Amino acid sequence: MAEIKKVLVANRGEIAIRIFRTCRKMGIKTVAVYTHADRKAPHVRYAKEAYCITESASDTNYLKMDKIIKIAKDTGAAIHPGYGFYAENADFVRKCNEEDVTFIGPKAEHIDLMGSKTGARMAMEEAGVPTVPGTKNPIRDVDEAKKICRDIGYPIMLKAVYGGGGKGMRYVEKEEDFDSAFRTASSEAKNAFGNGDMYIEKFIIQPHHVEIQVLGDSHGNALHLFDRECSIQRRHQKVIEEAPSPFISEETREKMCEVASKAVKRLGYVSAGTLEFVVGADQSFYFLEMNTRLQVEHPITEMITGVDIVREMLRIAEGKEISYKQEEIHRNGHAIECRIYAEDPSNNFAPSPGLLTIYQTPEGPNVRVESGAYQGYEIPLYYDPMIAKVCANSKTREGAIANMKRILSEYIVAGIKTSIPFHFSVLKNETFLSGNYDTGFIDNQFDKEDLERKEHEDPTVPLVAAAIKQLMSEKISAARSKTRPEVGESDWKRFGKLLNFGNRI
């Protein structure tokens, strides 16, 4: 594998810039790709070369595999996929291999393996990673199924084998409810997916989403970079993450990290990856899935370990060894990430694209901002609503929360709505502060009224501000209407006057 001298990021926005930053630091040249809609996006300016991959403005799609790989080949660049788009796309990796373009990421076979839910589960079980107890095969005999449920213990979930989107899924609390739940869920699945096959899974009470960041190289080395808690989610999308998890015990952490790095070694996994686990209230943990990409929330891990994950990915792609040994990785302090979405939290997180009339990012100590926006930037309608991520760190969790509040208070955005008010409410929420929150947090423990609650109960300040602004606007329009006649007479009036004059003579 050759030395990487140039990197093309097949992505946009903040993640493209994040990867370019490491490249610039390492003296590696950078190539951006963009669509017509993204001509003015900041990643285009950050890179030293930029190639448009769309034919016209009506095409807003970044998925131009052949074009992107050709640009990389012609410019002599390796490709980093970022997250989304071509990340976790095995075909893309294979095409890169065929064209002799270095892909900065895992092997195609591992992407394929982890892309299949059942394949990933089986591979992980073989590698000694615990998975959620349940049946592997569709239920054929109801009595047999009930016996399995008794063995793994209620409550359980019935899930459609070919299901998705919440259809054909039932929560079963006790055995008496099993028959009717099975009947209705199976018929629902049959109607929706054309197949009524169901399987059983243990229902995890108060589930926490905890993940382990891992790295593997082509020399068979594997290590973990500790854990992240990502239980604050809306629409199954993460909003706030922290590292380390405030919920799991040291003992659980040790077990999870060990299991994860062993699995990576056993699989021969190469590059950065993440094992996602669901952790129950009783600290039992089960493998959910493996993300075979760099994740949005990787900066908090970088903040507590000091490891530049993108740099390691580049080195691994060059065929080098990871530059650390496991015993050199230490946890230092606590870090939190808030994702800044262009959306309105008080209107059910509805998207809010538009022109950023004001955009000031926070400064000062203990802050890290990765942003894909700037003042005067029109956030396009066509892409992900995440415009930036903000991270804060400190020695303790309390310190990191205090820092984050200070940092967010300096984040000033006008022209669009953002998730910043939501973050403030969460950072003040008692359940969040206690450190024991599960994935049901936004639905169950978060009072949406908190978003409306104001720091100042007295509206004097906004009243004064608005009234003065109104007076000044009235002054400006009064001045305008006064000066207008002096600008000059309208041509129509002059025409009329001339006509009158002509008629008279």
Partner 1 sequence: MITKREYYANVTGFEEEYKMAVEEKDYHVFEVDVMGEKHEADFRQINESIYSLIIDNKSYSVEISEHGDQFEVLVDGDSYNVEILDDMKRLMKLRADVGLEGRQVVESQMPGYIWKTLKEVGDEVEAGEPVMILVAMKMENEIKAPKDGVIEEIFVKASEDPQESTVGTGDKLFVIE
Burial class, 117, CB count within 10 angstroms (exposed 0-12 / middle 13-18 / buried 19+): exposed
Beta carbons within 8 Å of 179's beta carbon, 6+ residues apart: 142
Measured from the CB atom, is 295 or 425 closer to partner 1? Answer: 425
Measured from the CB atom, is 1 or 472 closer to partner 1? Answer: 472
Alpha carbons 361 and 345: distance in angstroms, whole number? 20
Measured from the CB atom, is 281 or 478 closer to partner 1? Answer: 478
The stretch near partner 1 (CB under 8 A) out of 4-12, 120-128, 207-215, 470-478 is 470-478
Least distance to partner 1, CB of residue 37, Å: 9
Alpha carbons 294 and 11: distance in angstroms, whole number? 12
Measured from the CB atom, is 360 or 396 closer to partner 1? Answer: 360
Measured from the CB atom, is 463 or 499 closer to partner 1? Answer: 463
Contact pick of 470, 490, 494, 496 for partner 1 (by CB under 8 A): 470
Alpha carbons 343 and 351: distance in angstroms, whole number? 4
Q: Which positions from 337 through 376 interact with partner 1, judged by CB under 8 A?
A: 342-343, 347, 350-354, 357-358
Least distance to partner 1, CB of residue 311, Å: 31
Least distance to partner 1, CB of residue 406, Å: 12
Q: Which residues of 285-295 are buried (b: 16+ CB within 10 A; e: fewer)?
A: bbbbbbbbbbb
DSSP string, 290-337: EE-S--TTHHHHHHHH---HHHHHHHHHTTPPPS--GGG----SEEEE
Least distance to partner 1, CB of residue 478, Å: 6
496 binds partner 1 (CB under 8 A): no
How far out from the chain centre does Cα 330 lie?
25
Q: Pairing between strand 354-355 and 378-379? A: antiparallel
Quick one: how many helices (H) and strands (E) in the chain? Answer: 17, 21
Q: Pairing between strand 334-341 and 343-344? A: unpaired
- Beta-bridge partners for 33: 51
Q: One symbol per residue from 51 to 80: x for binding partner 1 (CB under 8 A), - otherwise; what is it?
A: ------xx-x--------------------
Which positions are annotated as active-site residues? 293
Least distance to partner 1, CB of residue 455, Å: 5
Q: Is there a contact between 415 and 326 (Cβ–Cβ < 8 Å)?
A: no
Measured from the CB atom, is 57 or 63 closer to partner 1? Answer: 57
Least distance to partner 1, CB of residue 370, Å: 19
Specify the residue for token string 């285009």: 44
Q: One symbol per residue from 430 to 469: x for binding partner 1 (CB under 8 A), - otherwise; what is it?
A: ----------------------x-xxx--xxxxxxxxxxx
Q: One symbol per residue from 393 to 412: x for binding partner 1 (CB under 8 A), - otherwise; what is it?
A: ---------------xx--x
Applying CB under 8 A, the residues found at the interface with partner 1 are 57-58, 60, 342-343, 347, 350-354, 357-358, 381-385, 408-409, 412, 414-415, 420-421, 424, 452, 454-456, 459-475, 478
